[in-house]
Amino acid sequence: MQRQFKHPIFVYLRKHNCPQCSNLLEKVTYSRTVNINSSEGRFFDFSETDTSVRGDVLFVWDEFRCSKCGKHFSVDSLFLLEKEKKKRRKQEKWASRKQNN
C-alpha cells in the first residue's frame, strides 16, 4: 500500500471553501489498485514503494469534494488556486494603499 500525503497541514488543519460556490469542502479519501506494468501505472509514483514490487500496488490519497455543486478538487489544484487567490488579494491591498497615499 502506498499512502500519499500532499500538503498535510493544508489538508488536515485548515478548512476550505469551494472556488465555484463558496460551500465548505469535505475531504474524501480515494484508493486505486494499480499494476506497475499497466498503461495507467505511468501516472502513479512507485518510487516510494518497495523496489522489489512487481504487480499491483494500492494507492490511497485525499481530495476535496463540494457537497453542493459536486465539484472535485485534487490537493495540488486547490492548493494552487488558494495560493493564487491570496497573492491577488495582497496585490490589490498594496494597490489600494498606493492610491490612498
Identify the pLDDT of residue 60. Answer: 93
C-alpha 85 chain-centroid distance: 15
pLDDT tens series, the chain, 101 aa? 778 888 999 999 999 999 999 999 999 999 999 888 888 888 887 776 666 667 788 899 999 999 999 999 999 999 999 999 999 999 988 888 888 76
Identify the pLDDT of residue 95. Answer: 86
Boundaries of domain holding 95? 2-100
d(CA 63, CA 97): 37
The count of structural domains within the chain is 1
pTM reported for the whole predicted model: 0.75
* 7 bridge partner residues: none
Q: Which residue has the cell 514490487?
A: 53
Identify the pLDDT of residue 64. Answer: 96
* 33 bridge partner residues: 58
